[in-house]
């Protein structure tokens, strides 16, 4: 049923990528290792390898007429039906089957994943019978999810439930059913498309990162094998038949040996010590390392786990389980905090800075008025630092794309609900609702058609990803040229734009300086343009903060009128030194608080990045230490007040790169 | 002349003839190469409004060669290639010969507002209501099998449709597990997309899926512009006559495609050229290995079109840009893009065959 249309590329013909192949083979030796996630850039044979795996997996004995392919000799792993038949003394018909790679398409509906009411059966005789889904087909096989990081949450949840229990429990639509669902979970993903939910990541026993191959000879070899395969798949597969058989035999032998592999006591202790040292939470890592090392030993024909096996197992099983902070710690952290070594400014193009210092300060950087200084690379943004605390968990898990239930015909069909006059009928659900009555109808004079009553009619419930709109409000006044604020602000803004590219949010940029604010980038997905326009942003002049906030407010209101589903996040970058009144003679600071309150009242999610806090600041350098401290504290208090008025997450700019902001 | 010819062509009288398109050489080349070898992986045409992008794609159908298909199969399976058949056809083929017919290759549209069930297929409602059978009703991907799947404004396509499209394109197969049906069928198509970059960029995953990418711009040459306008006017005034005037050219191009297909299997890639292809991709730091495969296929197809039996450096130069340019622009943030031509020249020099030639 799920045999590929043409035979897969032979596993043994894959050039290099030994870690990926090894992880897949080790899991084949011991499926209880818990599956493999292969991460890597496009076009690195990830999917090809997974699909190729099935071919080298040894056949297994299965109950021939069981939809779950139960093992004939292991009652604990049988479905209720097989167990009952066995107990009743029936000799179960068996057959040898190849292990299969069962696909879970991203757009699968939940009823197909977990199984549902057998509509045909129900319509024919009104019997509520279970129709097995993908999880049933995956039992004792490989369940493959390509682009697993894009899988819908409702499917992920069902998948995790089943994976955790080794069983699929269904309670829906008049059926109540459970069946074994032990599968090797294999996923592939391209990290550029977004990260995996930590809960799902932890579920994979082994994680392998693959990269393209740079060696010219190997690349030529890869292309030539691919071309030969495409030209004559059957002939190519014949060429590798011996290798394939040998690998299958190795796997089968290793399985047979696996139970006899011993783990010396000191090695067992080393596993746990290492996991503790690496600060891996939970025990899943330890278990995966032990099993992987044992499988590696079995493959080698060794009777005992050695250091070499342990080292390999750790590489495959532990890296993804280390806490994020541990993984990311390294040279990056140093590179991010580079505020002191400002390069000498470009003496040209200083016209704008002439009016920069309304409060009499001299920019240290001597008239550098182009916001795009050469500041090196952008950094990954931890968006949880910017979104309001109330959503933090949710955001962390799902990224910035917010699914929302919608009516109408677009969007992904995720479920159904009862409705009398639907314009988007969920036929499958409607039939299921009507199905159980049909048996009684047979033999009456109702004719051949199905009796569907208004109460049966279901409408499709669709889900669409609400469109994210990231509004960056950037202080381009003279005061940001103080110290390294400008450079760090720019890095942060560009990093956020880059992040929006990954999350496919639209971006808008509002800049304020001098006497006014303007939208320098209208909402767009063309982030290249956004970047260029930010690059051309000029800096200097006073700080019309309330103009900036007001402009952002108007922009958000306008976009909401256009699309009520839009999800705006307004991130303001400023040092808070509001000094231009909105209305003549008013107090700029009080006005700023008023506009901030309006943003909060409009229920817009906001973050306030304080570009002054904690950065090396020349303003204070000429003052006494106490005076500078007092001034800093005052500045901090004021910015905090402003952020609170906006109901915004307060983040000091310097903490953004690390994500571990701890607002004092 | 049309009277005497019995050749069956798809003759939508509203289609502008492909061979009447002025200039836009790269766009036409990319489309033709894909017609010669669909495994090149499709074409994306980027350009501003009014640069004949859609016209060219729709015009392509007219010059594509006919193909043999199982007559009553919704996927138009190839009668002689069991590996590319749907299950139904494979079963029937083992029992006897299914009925076949010759059909024109088609350009199948995927409208932006298509629902997911229309794209991948869904439950056959009539069948389900009539006799309670949960039968699969094929969707756009089924119709696209062995044809051209065209998405206009592909950058505006909804994510959930893109995902389904990518799945199918990657596997050459459509796997449906939804709405009460479980089904799979072959879905090997030439993916052609057009877009206006002003409307936003394409998701990298989707961009990479296109074998070739062509950027088209308006034409600045006055004489050419006049020519374009005049042909357009002539076509609008009398489409039938206009099409008749290009009939010979059209048929010649179709024949070229057919001949090139026949020759394709014999085109060889000399070792030094193969190495230069790999080295170019390494120099350009192209993600993964799809760039190598695409460049090889495109170069072989162009050699076949030109009647050459080996891929030469000059053939390579003519396709390197459309095969690799888009793979070097991973993110719009990396500005120091390496030039494809430069990388290719360097790679060719480095891997020059022993003993002269240049």
The DSSP bridge pattern shows strands A468-475 and A506-513 to be parallel
Among A90-99, A165-174, A442-451, the range of highest mean pLDDT:
A90-99
- A349 band by pLDDT with thresholds 50, 70 and 90: very low
User: Shortest Cα distance from A8 to chain B (angstroms)?
Assistant: 10
- A87 band by pLDDT with thresholds 50, 70 and 90: very high
Spans in chain B with pLDDT lower than 50: 1-10, 331-334, 356-358
CB contact under 8 A, A6 and B286: no
A450 in B contact zone (CB under 8 Å): yes
Phi, psi of A185 (to 5 degrees): -85, 120
Q: Which residues of A touch B46 (CB under 8 A)?
A: none
pLDDT of A129 > 90? The answer is no
A318 in B contact zone (CB under 8 Å): no
Q: Which pLDDT score, from 0 to 100, does residue A439 have? A: 62
CB contact under 8 A, A124 and B132: yes
CB contact under 8 A, B166 and A212: no
Write out the two tokens for B255: 């024949």
Q: SS3 for A69?
A: coil
Q: Which of B39, B85, B132 to mutate to test the interface with A (most CBs of A within 10 A)?
A: B132
Which secondary structure element, helix H or strand E, spans residue B31, and what is its range?
helix B25-36
Averaged over A485-509, what is the pLDDT? 80
Least-confidence region, from A145-149, A430-434, A444-448: A444-448
Q: Which of A6, A7, A54, A107 to mutate to test the interface with B (most CBs of B within 10 A)?
A: A107
C-alpha span between A453 and A433 (Å, rounded)? 9
Q: Which long-range contacts (CB under 8 A, 24 or more apart) does A448-455 make?
A: A448/B130, A448/B131, A449/B129, A449/B130, A450/A123, A450/B128, A450/B129, A450/B130, A450/B132, A452/B129, A454/A420, A455/A418
User: Shortest Cα distance from B81 to chain A (angstroms)?
Assistant: 10
User: Do B156 and A458 form a contact (C-beta atoms < 8 A)?
Assistant: no
User: Nearest Cα to A482, choosing from A339, A379, A626, A643?
Assistant: A339
Of B133, B265, B278, the CB nearest to A216: B278
Note the maximum CA span of chain B: 75
Instruction: Give the model confidence (pLDDT) of A621-651 as tens digits.
Output: 666 777 778 877 888 888 999 999 998 888 8
Which secondary structure element, helix H or strand E, spans residue A44, and what is its range?
none
Q: Which residues of B touch A413 (CB under 8 A)?
A: 116-117, 178-179
Averaged over A275-288, what is the pLDDT? 77
Which secondary structure element, helix H or strand E, spans residue A591, and what is its range?
helix A588-601
Of B172, B201, B203, the CB nearest to A5: B172
C-alpha span between B3 and A649 (Å, rounded)? 76
Of A272 and A97, more confident:
A97
Among A327-341, A499-513, B122-136, B301-315, the range of highest mean pLDDT:
B301-315
Buried b / exposed e along B42-61 (16+ C-beta atoms within 10 A): bbbbbbeeebbbebbbbbbb
Q: SS3 for A538?
A: strand
Of A219, A452, A526, the CB nearest to B289: A219
User: Do B35 and B190 form a contact (C-beta atoms < 8 A)?
Assistant: yes
- A533 band by pLDDT with thresholds 50, 70 and 90: confident
The DSSP bridge pattern shows strands B148-152 and B107-109 to be parallel
Catalytic annotation, pick one of A178, A284, A436, A560 = A284
User: Do A52 and A8 form a contact (C-beta atoms < 8 A)?
Assistant: yes
Of B186, B200, B274, the CB nearest to A526: B200
Task: Supply the mean pLDDT for chain A.
Answer: 78
User: Nearest Cα to A646, choosing from A574, A570, A587?
Assistant: A570
User: Nearest Cα to B45, choosing from B260, B291, B217, B271?
Assistant: B217
Q: What is the pTM of this model?
A: 0.75
Q: Which pLDDT score, from 0 to 100, does residue B8 have? A: 38
User: Do A164 and A185 form a contact (C-beta atoms < 8 A)?
Assistant: no
Instruction: Give the model confidence (pLDDT) of A201-254 as tens digits.
Output: 888 889 999 988 889 999 999 999 999 998 889 999 999 999 999 999 999 999
User: Nearest Cα to A124, choosing from A434, A537, A371, A394?
Assistant: A434
CB contact under 8 A, A112 and B186: no
CB contact under 8 A, A42 and B288: yes
Q: Which residues of A touch B175 (CB under 8 A)?
A: 103, 105
Q: Which residues of A touch B176 (CB under 8 A)?
A: 105
Catalytic residue check, B290: yes
A contact residues 394-423, partner B, Cβ 8 Å cutoff: 409-413
In B, minimum Cα distance to A526 occurs at B200
Of A413, A464, A525, the CB nearest to B179: A413
Q: Which residues of A touch B292 (CB under 8 A)?
A: 219, 222-223
Averaged over A54-62, what is the pLDDT? 92
CB contact under 8 A, A212 and B120: no
CB contact under 8 A, B177 and A43: no
What does each C-alpha distance from A137 to A28, A132, A295 come to in angstroms? 17, 8, 25
User: Shortest Cα distance from B97 to chain A (angstroms)?
Assistant: 19
CB contact under 8 A, B289 and A432: no
pLDDT of A186 > 50? The answer is yes
User: Shortest Cα distance from A409 to chain B (angstroms)?
Assistant: 7
Of A223, A412, A528, the CB nearest to B293: A223
Averaged over A83-89, what is the pLDDT? 92
Return the C-alpha torsion angle A191, A197, A198, A203, nearest 10: -90
Among A188-202, A380-394, A441-455, the range of highest mean pLDDT:
A188-202
**Across-strand partners of A142?**
A101, A184
Q: Which pLDDT score, from 0 to 100, does residue A212 have? A: 85
Instruction: Give the model confidence (pLDDT) of A244-272 as tens digits.
Output: 999 999 999 999 999 999 999 888 888 88
The DSSP bridge pattern shows strands B67-70 and B100-103 to be antiparallel
Averaged over A613-627, what is the pLDDT? 64
pLDDT of A516 > 80? The answer is yes
User: Do A303 and A262 form a contact (C-beta atoms < 8 A)?
Assistant: yes
The DSSP bridge pattern shows strands A605-610 and A649-652 to be parallel
Question: For chain B, what is the radius of gyration of the CA atoms?
Answer: 22
CB contact under 8 A, A150 and B163: yes
- A325 band by pLDDT with thresholds 50, 70 and 90: very low
User: Shortest Cα distance from A5 to chain B (angstroms)?
Assistant: 5
In B, minimum Cα distance to A233 occurs at B83
Q: Establish, for the pair of chains A and B, how many residue pairs have beta carbons separated by less than 8 Å.
A: 201
User: Nearest Cα to B210, choosing from B259, B169, B241?
Assistant: B169
**Across-strand partners of A172?**
A175
pLDDT of A364 > 90? The answer is no
**Across-strand partners of A649?**
A607
C-alpha span between B220 and B23 (Å, rounded)? 11
User: Shortest Cα distance from A183 to chain B (angstroms)?
Assistant: 18
A123 in B contact zone (CB under 8 Å): yes
pLDDT of A395 > 50? The answer is no
Q: Which of A52, A105, A227 to mutate to test the interface with B (most CBs of B within 10 A)?
A: A105
Q: SS3 for A415?
A: strand
CB contact under 8 A, B205 and A193: yes
- A20 band by pLDDT with thresholds 50, 70 and 90: very high
A615 in B contact zone (CB under 8 Å): no
Least-confidence region, from A79-83, A125-129, A373-377, A571-575: A373-377
User: Nearest Cα to B85, choosing from B95, A72, A313, A631?
Assistant: B95
Residues 6+ apart with CB under 8 A from B292: A219, A222, A223, B277, B278, B281
Averaged over A431-447, what is the pLDDT? 64
pLDDT of A328 > 60? The answer is no
ipTM above 0.95, yes or no: no
A527 in B contact zone (CB under 8 Å): yes
What's A460's DSSP letter? Answer: E
- A93 band by pLDDT with thresholds 50, 70 and 90: very high
What does each C-alpha distance from A115 to A69, A129, A487, B122, B206 come to in angstroms? 16, 10, 55, 17, 31
């Amino acid at each position: 049923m799920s045999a590929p249309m043409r035979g897969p590329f032979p596993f043994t013909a894959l050039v290099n990528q030994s870690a990926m192949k090894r992880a897949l083979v080790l899991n084949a030796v011991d499926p209880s290792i818990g599956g493999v996630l292969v991460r890597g850039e496009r076009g690195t044979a990830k999917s090809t390898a997974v699909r190729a795996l099935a071919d080298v997996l040894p056949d297994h004995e299965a109950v021939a007429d069981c939809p779950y392919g139960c093992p004939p000799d292991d009652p604990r792993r049988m479905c209720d039906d097989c167990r009952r038949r066995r107990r009743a003394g029936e000799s179960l018909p068996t057959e040898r089957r190849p292990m299969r790679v069962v696909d879970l398409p991203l757009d699968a509906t939940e009823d197909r994943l977990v199984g549902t009411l057998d509509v045909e059966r129900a319509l024919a005789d009104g019997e509520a019978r279970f129709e097995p889904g993908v999880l049933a087909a995956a039992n004792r096989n490989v369940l493959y999810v390509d682009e697993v990081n894009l899988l819908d949450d409702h499917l992920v949840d069902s998948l995790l439930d089943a994976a955790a229990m080794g069983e699929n429990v269904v309670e829906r639509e008049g059926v109540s059913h459970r069946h074994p669902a032990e599968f090797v979970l294999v996923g592939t993903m391209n990290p550029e498309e977004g990260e995996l939910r930590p809960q799902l990541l932890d579920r994979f026993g082994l994680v392998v990162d693959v990269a393209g191959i740079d060696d010219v000879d190997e690349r030529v070899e890869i292309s030539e094998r691919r071309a030969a395969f495409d030209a004559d798949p059957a002939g190519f597969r014949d060429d590798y038949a011996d290798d394939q058989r040998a690998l299958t035999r190795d796997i089968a032998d290793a399985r047979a040996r696996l139970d006899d592999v011993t783990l010396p006591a000191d090695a067992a202790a080393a596993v746990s010590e290492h996991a503790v040292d690496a600060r891996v939470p939970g025990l899943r890592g330890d278990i995966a390392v032990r099993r992987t090392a044992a499988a590696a030993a079995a493959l080698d024909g060794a009777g005992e786990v050695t250091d070499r096996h342990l080292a390999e197992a750790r590489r495959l099983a532990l890296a993804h389980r280390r806490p994020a902070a541990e993984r990311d710690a390294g040279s990056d952290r140093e590179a991010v905090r580079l505020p002191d070594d400002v390069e000498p400014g470009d003496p040209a193009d200083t016209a704008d800075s002439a009016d920069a210092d309304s409060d009499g300060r001299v920019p240290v950087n001597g008239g550098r008025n182009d916001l795009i200084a050469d500041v090196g690379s952008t950094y990954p943004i931890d968006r949880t630092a910017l979104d309001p605390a109330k959503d933090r968990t949710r955001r962390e898990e799902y990224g910035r794309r917010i699914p929302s239930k919608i009516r109408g015909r677009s969007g992904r069909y995720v479920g159904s609900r009862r409705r009398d006059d639907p314009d988007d009928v969920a036929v499958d659900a409607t039939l299921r609702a009507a199905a159980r009555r049909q048996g009684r109808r047979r033999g009456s004079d109702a004719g051949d058609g199905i009796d569907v009553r208004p109460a049966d009619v279901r409408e499709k419930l669709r889900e669409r990803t609400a469109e994210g709109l990231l509004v960056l409000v950037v202080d381009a006044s003279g005061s940001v040229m103080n110290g390294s604020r400008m450079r760090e602000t720019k890095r942060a803004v560009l990093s956020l734009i880059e992040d929006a590219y990954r999350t496919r949010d639209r971006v808008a940029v509002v800049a304020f300086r001098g006497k006014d604010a303007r939208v320098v980038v209208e909402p767009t997905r063309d982030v290249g343009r956004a970047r260029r326009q930010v690059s051309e942003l000029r800096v200097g002049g006073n700080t019309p903060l309330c103009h900036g906030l007001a402009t952002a407010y108007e922009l958000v209101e306008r976009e909401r009128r256009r699309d009520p589903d839009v999800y705006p996040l307004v991130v303001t970058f400023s040092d808070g030194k509001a000094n231009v009144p909105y209305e003549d003679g008013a107090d700029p600071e009080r006005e700023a608080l008023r506009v901030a309150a309006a943003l909060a009242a409009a229920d817009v999610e906001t973050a306030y990045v304080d570009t002054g806090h904690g950065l090396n600041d020349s303003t204070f350098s000429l003052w006494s230490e106490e005076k500078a401290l007092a001034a800093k504290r005052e500045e901090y208090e004021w910015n905090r007040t402003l952020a609170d008025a906006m109901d915004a997450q307060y983040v000091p700019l310097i903490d953004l790169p690390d994500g571990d902001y701890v607002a004092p | 002349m049309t009277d005497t010819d019995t050749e069956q062509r798809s003759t939508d009288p509203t289609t502008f003839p492909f061979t009447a398109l002025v200039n836009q050489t790269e766009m036409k080349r990319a489309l033709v190469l894909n017609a010669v070898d669909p495994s090149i992986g499709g074409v994306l045409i980027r350009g501003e409004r009014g640069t004949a992008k859609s016209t060219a794609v729709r015009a392509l159908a007219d010059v594509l060669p006919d193909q043999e298909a199982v007559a009553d199969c919704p996927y138009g399976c190839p009668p002689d290639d069991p590996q590319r058949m749907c299950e139904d056809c494979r079963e029937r083929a083992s029992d006897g010969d299914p009925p076949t017919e010759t059909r024109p290759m088609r350009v199948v549209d995927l409208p932006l507002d298509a629902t997911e069930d229309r794209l991948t297929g869904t439950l056959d409602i009539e069948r389900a209501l009539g006799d309670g059978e949960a039968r699969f009703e094929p969707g756009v991907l089924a119709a696209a099998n062995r044809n051209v799947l065209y998405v206009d404004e592909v950058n505006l396509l909804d994510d959930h449709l893109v995902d389904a499209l990518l799945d199918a394109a990657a596997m050459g197969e459509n796997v449906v597990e939804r709405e009460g049906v479980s089904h799979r069928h072959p879905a090997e198509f030439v993916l052609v997309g057009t877009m206006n970059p002003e409307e936003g960029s394409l998701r990298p995953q989707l961009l990479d899926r296109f074998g070739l990418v062509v950027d088209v711009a308006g034409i600045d040459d006055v004489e050419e512009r006049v020519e374009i306008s005049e042909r357009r006017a002539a076509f609008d005034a009398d489409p039938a006559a206009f099409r008749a005037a290009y009939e010979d050219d059209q048929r010649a191009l179709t024949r070229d495609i057919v001949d090139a297909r026949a020759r394709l299997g014999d085109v060889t890639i000399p070792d030094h050229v193969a190495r230069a292809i790999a080295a170019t991709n390494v120099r350009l730091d192209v993600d993964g290995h799809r760039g190598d495969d695409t460049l090889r296929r495109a170069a072989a197809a162009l050699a076949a079109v030109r009647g050459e039996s080996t891929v030469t450096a000059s053939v390579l130069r003519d396709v390197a840009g459309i095969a690799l340019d888009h793979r070097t622009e991973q993110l719009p943030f990396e500005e120091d893009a390496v030039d494809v031509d430069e990388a290719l020249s360097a790679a060719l020099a480095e891997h020059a065959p022993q003993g002269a030639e240049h």
